[in-house]
Amino acid sequence: MFVVWPLSGQTYQLKDIGAQLPEATRIAVMEWDFGITGPGVTDIGGDGEIGWRNLVKAVGRPLPYWPMTLRIPQLMLNWTPDQEPVISPARTDLDITPLLQLAASYEEGHPAARTLLNLARICADRSAAGALTDLETLATMTNADTVVVAARPMLVPSADREDLDVHQRRAGWLDVLSREDTLARHCVRELKSWDGGRDLPFGQIERADPSRPHAAEWANRLQRCARTAAFEIFHTQDGDAFIDPETDAPALRRRTDDGEQILLASPQRLPATSPLAELVLDQPIWVRTTDRTLYPAPQDPRFGITWGYGGSGPNCLANMIDRLLDDITAPGADPFKSPPKPLMDLTALKLPRGTVLTRAQLEAARAGRWLPETPEGGTDQDAT
């Protein structure tokens, strides 16, 4: 019998494991969760759930157990039946090495150093806590005579995102974004995979067609720039690097099979001082202020905005409209805030691309006094 332990952070399919062990007459695969008698075990080619106690009987001795975040190859290969549990750092969800390396390159107390170290500590804390939870569950659900604890996590200080003030975190990441070295690029990629980049100044990644009038107007102000770590948010190196001088957001201008395209980062907040003048329903959605400046609409990095149906995207747009009418610097909307019902009715309409809604119309819609007529064809056709 082969007993297979999938490693921490590894995804797999049972059929693939069987294909890699063609000589095996029986394969037991350890799962991430727990069954009735102990850690979950699946019998490939058998009856499915085999049960921890049955596996112990089949092997003829207590079996070692590694918490999920301690399933580290060398740790497992070094195990011997008579050894005490090894104390080891738990495997983190992120690669924290570049975070620590870059933090060490700054002067002590620099916002970037504190921000990078905070994220590394959060990752280490959560991984250690996960291992401790697994061991607590093991002790509750498994008879001691059937299991040997092979490893325990090295304890680390507790850490939380809120240990640092949001302004410190944002200042730290702004410094990292401005760098051109590979270490900074790596750190930005790790942050994006962690939480989508909540502490970055950017919201959603959008695609703009510069042949469309509002996108063309916006594209005319773009300036060429160095390819800094900020461009890692696009997950591609294809395109020429530009920056929007109004928002300091990166943009990639590139050629595609469908023509020219610009990848852009919407802001989380508008750096504006003038009130909202109009909203443009297009790809992306645009906001114009009374000083005539055109901006990509602000968005939360976790929640996009759109229109034309009843759902979270249009509801987020309604919430954003409600916020910007009162405060042009308000953050991008999220689905956890309920916007006024009349604005939800507005954003659910199938209005054509390029539709311009003035401030007066938006205020009337919010008050429930106005809704535009919806032409046939909806969002697939342009406004005339």
> Domain boundaries in the chain?
2-88, 97-195, 202-371
10: Cβ contacts below 8 Å, ≥ 6 apart: none
Distance CA 117, CA 105 (A): 12
320: Cβ contacts below 8 Å, ≥ 6 apart: 297, 298, 299, 305, 330, 332, 333
50: Cβ contacts below 8 Å, ≥ 6 apart: 28, 41, 42, 43
Q: Check residue 288 and give its pLDDT.
A: 99
Below-50 pLDDT ranges, the chain: none
> Which whole-number Å values give the CA distances from 48 to 31, 38, 212, in the listed order?
12, 15, 57
Q: Check residue 384 and give its pLDDT.
A: 56
Locate all alpha helices (DSSP H) within the chain, ordered by sequence. Answer: 14-20, 52-59, 73-77, 97-104, 111-141, 166-177, 182-195, 213-219, 312-326, 341-347, 359-366
Distance CA 119, CA 337 (A): 27
Q: Check residue 43 and give its pLDDT.
A: 87
273: Cβ contacts below 8 Å, ≥ 6 apart: 291, 328
Per DSSP (E only), the strands in 209-316 are 223-224, 240-244, 249-256, 259-267, 276-281, 286-289, 294-296
Task: State the DSSP code for 200.
Answer: S
Q: Check residue 378 and give its pLDDT.
A: 63
Confidence (pTM)? 0.90
148: Cβ contacts below 8 Å, ≥ 6 apart: 62, 63, 64, 65, 81
pLDDT in tens, 36-45: 999 999 888 7
pLDDT in tens, 205-235: 999 999 999 999 999 999 999 999 999 999 9
